[in-house]
Amino acid sequence: MKMLSQYEVDIITHGIELSWTTWGKMRGETLVTGDINYVKSENGRGFERIFSVNIKDNQAFRVQQMIALIKAGIMPDSMLITPNTQPGNLTDILSSKGFIIDDADPCMMLHLDDYEEKTSEHTGLSISSVTDKSMLADWLNIVNTALFGCELVMLEQFNDLLILDNTYFYLGLIHGKPVTACMAITDGDTSVLEMVATLDGYRRHGFASATINKALMDLRHKNIKTTSLRAESDGVGLYKKLGFKECFKRVVASCDWKTVHRKSCPCHMEREKIEQVKQIFRETGSITEFVLEMSRQNVIGRKIWYEPRENAIYITKQYACDFGGGCASNNTLIGQRCHCDYVNHLTEHVPMSYCKGAAHFYEPMFLPLFGGHVQIEAVQTVLSGADECIFRIKL
């Protein structure tokens, strides 16, 4: 097998960036660039993904901060990882932090000078360039039906892309019925092929191949030298027949919300504190006495108390600023009182679900005493707009 070249990696990586920066031009989408590039939907529907990570400095902190912003809902909860991604071991890091890694499908590329034009044997097939909103509606119906399985993107959003100078939409019709679609996006002498979709019942008849052929020939006539794509497993055979070469696996890391809060929080309870609490528990005869002694010794939190009707222990967390912590550049309650260095620079409120990790922080202290059935949860947090953070340990 021919060795993968850096040139091929760069072409495909550029294609990924070209696609996602294009999606970011749709209304309702926000494109954010920097050492972490991502597209975020403004209403929770549409395209979302971290598509490029190039963290070179302070990598451990920045990666942990990225995970924190994902948990806070500020960044998308999935990302693309390529051979150009930095840090180079990001896949392993994310896997250990509660992300699901999917590397089943390949990224592919084609040198258009090597492409041989294909002729279709289907006399009833016609292929048209999409030039107006009516044709675009047919095109999008195929994409939403065959590719997404739902109305993921609205017509007006793709119409924002239709009017761009570097986007080209193609529609394949059999006896006048729209059945297959694709699009190409260009930048300089390279391009990326996107949104290849064919309605169920019209697949494996060469309709998609003929439509892609039209797109590829148009690209070559525009003096485009290369094109790339991210293939789904069921389309790899088609692309190989057209001359595309598999270059590397498309790695997608997706947040596993069932485990990420437990695995990703880097904070740990001090062993000395855990042993101190165990000793207090052994020396007291009831939960009420235990909590009173915890309070007297000021073991943890600004305040700790027991609610017998709920059979629950409550803890009010200490403020970060009481220990010289917090974010000096953020004068809000979040900045001064939140212990989490990854989000206390924020000024907007963060969903309370983010603090599930902080709830897990208390598990090593209370689970050995009261068993695994104990429920620990945030009642209110500074991040979500409260004046202080309160956690409940339901026994």
Domains in the chain, ordered, with CATH?
6-111+254-260 (no CATH), 112-245 (3.40.630.30), 265-394 (no CATH)
What distance in Å separates the CA atoms of residue 138 and residue 197, rounded to the nearest whole number? 12
Amino acid 148 reads F
Statement: residue 319 has pLDDT above 80: yes
The token duo for 274 is 């855990």
Which residues contact residue 282 at a Cβ distance below 8 angstroms, ignoring those fewer than 6 apart?
none
Q: How many CA atoms lie within 13 A of 17 on its CB side?
A: 20
What is the rounded average pLDDT of the residues 231-251?
94
Region 302-316: what's the mean pLDDT? Answer: 97
* pLDDT over threshold 80, residue 203: yes
- Strand 49-53 and strand 190-198: pairing? unpaired
Strands (E), 21-94: 29-32, 36-41, 49-53, 78-81
Calpha distance 182→199 (Å, rounded): 12
* C-alpha distances out from residue 58 to 31, 38, 90, 226, 264, Å: 24, 20, 14, 35, 18
Q: 282-291 as b/e, with b when 16 or more CB fall inside 10 Å?
A: eeeeebeebb
Q: Give the end-to-end CA distance of the chain in Å, rounded to a whole number.
A: 60
pLDDT averaged over the chain? 95
Tokens of 163: 């009017």
Confidence of residue 45 (pLDDT cuts 50, 70, 90): confident
Distance, CA of 301 to CA of 372 (rounded, Å): 22
The candidate with the shortest Cα–Cα distance to 52, out of 11, 27, 20, 6, is: 20
Whether pLDDT at 237 is above 50: yes
Could you tell me the pLDDT band of residue 2, with boundaries at 50, 70 and 90?
Answer: low
Answer whether residue 1 shows pLDDT above 90: no
Start-end of H helices in 265-385: 271-283, 287-296, 333-337, 356-361, 363-370
Q: Is 321 exposed, middle or buried (0-12, 13-18, 19+ CB in 10 A)?
A: middle
d(CA 324, CA 229): 50
232 pLDDT above the threshold of 60: yes
Using alpha carbons, select from 108, 146, 110 the residue that is nearest to residue 231.
108
- ∠ CA(15), CA(17), CA(21), 5° rounding? 120
Question: What are the residues whose beta carbons fall under 8 Å from the beta carbon of 172, sequence distance 6 or more?
Answer: 125, 126, 127, 178, 179, 180, 181, 198, 207, 208, 210, 211
- pLDDT attached to residue 118: 87
DSSP 3-state assignment of 7?
helix
Asked if pLDDT for residue 162 goes beyond 50, the answer is yes
The 3-state DSSP class for residue 50 equals strand
% residues pLDDT > 70 (the chain): 99
The pLDDT of residue 3 is above 80: no
